[in-house]
Structure 1
Amino acid sequence: MPTRPAWQASAPLANLRRRAEIVARIRAYFTAQGLLEVDTPQLCPATVTDPQLESLAVAGYGYLQTSPEYAMKRLLAAGSGSIWQIAHVFRGNEFGRRHNPEFSLLEWYRVAFTPEELMAEVATVARLALGELGCVSHRYRDLFRQHLALDPLTCSSAALRAAARAHADPAFDDADRDTWLELLMSAVIEPHLGRDELCFVVDYPPSQAALARLRSDADGQPVAARFELYFRGVELANGYHELLDGGEQRSRFAADLRRRNELGLPAVAIDEDFLAAIDSGLPDCSGVALGLDRLVMLALGAESLQEVLPFPFARR
C-alpha cells in the first residue's frame, strides 16, 4: 500500500466507502429482524476482570470498555428484548496487522436463542460482508487431537508445555494451563481454520468459559457453551450461551482477581451493577461479539486493519 502523508487517512477512500456499504447491510439486516439498536457508554466506573485483557484507565472517570457486554446485559435484564450495537471499544497493548487499541465490535444478544441458532445467524451476518460461503463446525477437543495428538480437556500441563516448546517456541517457560492452550491454539491450529469457508469452533474447556454457562459435550465432559468463528485463520467472533447464575459469575470474577494478583496485574473493582442485573433475572439468551474491522478487512482482501481504518493508532 503506498505511503500517505501523515494527515491523510490510512485507508483508501474506496475502502471506507465499501466499509460503509457493509455496515449499511448489517444495519438493514438487524432492523428487518426487529432487534433494538442500542448505544451504551464506553467510559464506565468498572471494567472486566479478565487477566488476558488490559483495560485503559481514564484518571478520575473509570475505564474505557473492552466490550459493551455488561451494559447490554443490564438492558436485557431490564426487559429490552433482543438488542444489538456497533461500539468502539478499547484494549491496551493491542497492536499489529490484526489489532488496534481502539476498534469496532458488532455485538448482539438474542433472547431465547440456543448457541446453534445464534451460530446460524452469525454465519448469515458474516455472509453480508464475505459473500456466499460454506460453513463447518469443529469441537475444540477434536482440533487438538487432530493437530497436536493431545486431549486438551484431560492431558497434563506438562504435556501442553512440551507441545508449546516443540511447536511455538514460547519466550517464557512458566505459565498456567490456559496460557499454554491459547498459545497452541493461536500458533498451531488457527492458521488451518476457515481457509475457504466459515469455521466455527465449539465446546471450549470449562476454564475458558468467561461469561458462558457450562454444559456436557457428546462424551459427557464438562465444556463451556461457547463458540468462536474463524475465516482464513482469523478469529472473527466469540459467542456464549450466557451464564444466568450471578453467584457463579461472582466466583469467576473472584478467581480472575486472584490470578491478576499472581501475575502482578493491577487490581480492578468488580462491576456490582452488572452482577445485580444478573441477580434480578437475566433472560435466557445467547450473545456474540464480532470484530467489525476484521470482517471488513477480510471482505476487502486487505492485509492489515490499516487498510480499513481511517486513522489507526499508529496514524494519530
Structure 2
Amino acid sequence: MSLTSKNQLILQNLFELRKVHSVSERLSSGRVFYIDMLMGLCDASGVIWPVGIGQHLEKELLNEGSIITFKCKIMRTNPQAELKYDDNYFIIINELINKTTSLSSWENALIPSPLPNKEEIESQNKLFNQNIKVTNFYTSPVAKRLKSIKQRNSSLDRVHLFFKNRGFVNIETPTLVPSGGVEVYLNPFHTEYEDHRGHKWKLQLPTSPEFALKKLMVEGTHKIFQLSRAYRNNGEVSKHHEPEFVMLEWYRAQGTLQNMMEDTQNLVETLAYYLGTHLEIPKQWPAFRVDKLFQDILSISLEHVQNTEQFYLKAKNLSPSITKNDDWDTLFYKLFMEKIEPFLEKQKACFVTHYPIQMGALAAQERVKSNRSLEQNDSIENETKPFVERMEAFLYGVEICNGYLELSDAKNLSERFQKTLSARPELQQDPLFENAMEFGLPPCSGNALGIDRVIALLLGQKSISSLYPLPFLSQFPKGTVAWE
C-alpha cells in the first residue's frame, strides 16, 4: 500500500481496509467479471471484490477479463456490524482512469482462470438494504495457487540450507548431455547441437543429473547435492508425474544406504516442521526388504524364481492382470503395485530396501558374509545375492525417492549397460561417463528425491502441478494432451 495523497491511496487487498477506513477515496485496479448483471473485480492477490458502478459509467464498455484502474469509494454495507468482518465493505467506482480490454476469454488447460467460477460466486450472493445483489469476499483459486508457489519457493530455499548446513557443496550440471540415462523404463528427450562448422551432435535432456554428479565424485568431491531439472518422455501426466520437474540428488563419499535413509527422513521431518504440515510424520520409519514383503504377503521367494517361467507359475493365480507373455520385470511390477503397495499405503512413512538385481540400475549388488564348514578352514567369504543395495522411501503410500549404495565396479557396470542396450538399443551411451567409472568411482551412496512430490504431500496438494507457475498441460489447449 502506498499513500499518494491525504485522501487517496493504492488499495492492494481487502485486509488493509481496516487500517485506512478514514481515507475517503482510493485508487485501485482489478480484472472484470460478471455474474448476471453484477460486476466484480479480481485483484492482484486473487481476492474477489463485489463492485457497484456509478451512473456515468454504465455505458462504458467493460468486457469480462478487462483490467481496469479506477478511483473508488468504500461503503459500509452494514454500519452496525463489526469492522473485523471483510464482507461489510463494498466498492463504488467513481472514475475510470485506465482500461486494458480483453478480446477473448482466458482458456487454460490446468491453471485456474483468473476469472472466478460462476457457481462459486452465485452460491455466495446476498441482498443488502439497497437491494443490490453482491457477493461475499473470498479467496479465488488463483490466490490459493500463488500461495502454494510461494511455499514451494521457500521450501526449496530450506532444502539448500539443509544440505549446506551439513557440509554439502551445491552443484549445477548441464541440461544438454550426450546421454540422458540408460535405465530400461525411462525415455529421454532428444535434441541436436550444430556447431559453427555445421557439424551436428546428438544430445539429450537428462532423466536425472546422475551421470554428471558421479563424474564429479570421481574427481574427488566428498559431499555434493543439486536441485536440477529432470526430463522424462513417453510417460503419463498425472498427480505425481510431469515430463519436466525438479529432482533433488545428493551423494556422500564413503556413504552407506543407511546414510541415505537417515538423510531422507531428516529432510522430510525438517520440511514438515517448516511448512507446518497437516500430516503426522512418525519419528521411526520402518524398513522392509522387498524379498521379505513378497514372502510374507505373496508366499513367493524371489531368490528361487530367477527365471520368467518359474516366476509366472508362482504368480499366475495371484492377479488377473498377469499373462503368459509378461517378462520377469513386468511380473514383478504388477505384483508390487497390486499387492505390495496397498500394504505400504497403510504406513505413514517407511523404506523399502534390497530390490531384485533385475531392478538394480546402478546400485551395488548385495553381499553377505557366509560361514564355511571346518573342512574348508572355517573361512568367511562374501557371498553375492540376487538383490541390490537400493532403497525407496514411501510417504503415505507415495514413492518419493530412489537411493543406492552406488555400483563402483566398472566391469559390472559395463555388463549391466550392455544388458540394457540389448533390450533398448536406441538408448545413447556416455563414453566419458564410462571412462570415469573405469578410472574409479570411490565408494559412495546417492539418492534421487522427487522434492515436488514431498512438498505437495506435506501441503495437502492433490498434484505437483499446483506448485508450478506454468505446469506442463497449461501450455496446450484444454483436453488435447492426455492426463493419466
Measured after TM superposition, the shift of residue 80 of structure 1 is 1.9
Measured after TM superposition, the shift of residue 278 of structure 1 is 1.3
Q: Per the alignment, do residues 306 and 10 of structure 1 end up closer, same or farther by CA in structure 2, a change over 3 Å counting?
A: farther
Tell me if structure 2 keeps the 8 A contact 1:168–1:187: no
Aligned to 1:275: 434
Pick aligned residue for 1:257 from 418, 421, 431: 421
Give yes or no for the alignment of 1:42 onto 2:179: no
Aligned to 1:101: 243
Supply the AA of the counterpart residue of 2:303: L
1:76-87 → structure 2 map (5 Å cutoff) = 76-87=217-228
Tell me if structure 1 keeps the 8 A contact 2:173–2:212: yes
Supply the AA of the counterpart residue of 2:353: V
Q: Distance in 2 between matches of 1:164 and 1:3?
A: 44
Supply the AA of the counterpart residue of 2:414: R
Q: Distance in 1 between matches of 2:288 and 2:144?
A: 35
Give yes or no for the alignment of 1:223 onto 2:374: no
Supply the AA of the counterpart residue of 1:167: S
Tell me if structure 1 keeps the 8 A contact 2:188–2:207: yes
Tell me if structure 1 keeps the 8 A contact 2:111–2:470: no
Tell me if structure 2 keeps the 8 A contact 1:136–1:197: no
Aligned to 1:264: none
Supply the AA of the counterpart residue of 2:295: R
Q: Distance in 1 between matches of 2:145 and 2:234?
A: 25
Q: Per the alignment, do residues 90 and 244 of structure 1 end up closer, same or farther by CA in structure 2, a change over 3 Å counting?
A: same
Q: Per the alignment, do residues 281 and 9 of structure 1 end up closer, same or farther by CA in structure 2, a change over 3 Å counting?
A: farther
Tell me if structure 1 keeps the 8 A contact 2:182–2:429: yes
Tell me if structure 2 keeps the 8 A contact 1:85–1:106: yes
> Please, which runs of 5 or more residues in structure 1 have no aligned partner?
262-266
Pick aligned residue for 2:229 from 68, 88, 100: 88
Deviations 1:195-248 (A, max 9, x none): 453211111112211101112359963420111111111110101111111121
Q: Percent identity?
A: 30
| 2:457 partner SS | helix
Q: Distance in 1 between matches of 2:342 and 2:270?
A: 23
Deviations 1:175-212 (A, max 9, x none): 32112112221222123215453211111112211101
Aligned to 2:446: 287
Give yes or no for the alignment of 1:308 onto 2:467: yes
Comparing both structures, which one devotes a greater share of its residues to helix?
Answer: 1
Give yes or no for the alignment of 1:151 onto 2:301: yes
Aligned to 2:189: 56
Measured after TM superposition, the shift of residue 159 of structure 1 is 5.8
Deviations 1:126-165 (A, max 9, x none): 2122344231100001111222221222236346446367
Q: Distance in 1 between matches of 2:346 and 2:406?
A: 29
Which deviates more, 124-133 or 6-15?
Answer: 6-15
Which deviates more, 174-183 or 157-166?
Answer: 157-166
Supply the AA of the counterpart residue of 1:288: N
Measured after TM superposition, the shift of residue 259 of structure 1 is 1.1
Aligned to 1:233: 397
Q: Per the alignment, do residues 177 and 18 of structure 1 end up closer, same or farther by CA in structure 2, a change over 3 Å counting?
A: same
Tell me if structure 2 keeps the 8 A contact 1:195–1:231: no
Aligned to 2:21: none
Structure showing greater Rg? 2
| 2:255 partner SS | coil
Measured after TM superposition, the shift of residue 6 of structure 1 is 8.6
Q: Distance in 2 between matches of 1:68 and 1:291?
A: 13
CA RMSD of aligned residues (A): 2.5
Measured after TM superposition, the shift of residue 67 of structure 1 is 0.5
Measured after TM superposition, the shift of residue 88 of structure 1 is 0.8
Deviations 1:265-312 (A, max 9, x none): xx1232111111111121110000000111111111122122222222
Measured after TM superposition, the shift of residue 173 of structure 1 is 4.7
Q: Distance in 2 between matches of 1:308 and 1:160?
A: 41
Aligned to 1:135: 285
Q: Distance in 2 between matches of 1:203 and 1:270?
A: 26
Supply the AA of the counterpart residue of 2:304: T
Comparing both structures, which one devotes a greater share of its residues to strand?
Answer: 2
Pick aligned residue for 2:327 from 176, 180, 187: 176
The alignment covers a number of residue pairs equal to 309
Q: Per the alignment, do residues 196 and 301 of structure 1 end up closer, same or farther by CA in structure 2, a change over 3 Å counting?
A: farther
Tell me which of the two structures has the higher relative contact order, counting C-alpha pairs closer than 8 angstroms and 6 or more residues apart: 1
Aligned to 1:248: 412
Tell me if structure 2 keeps the 8 A contact 1:46–1:63: yes
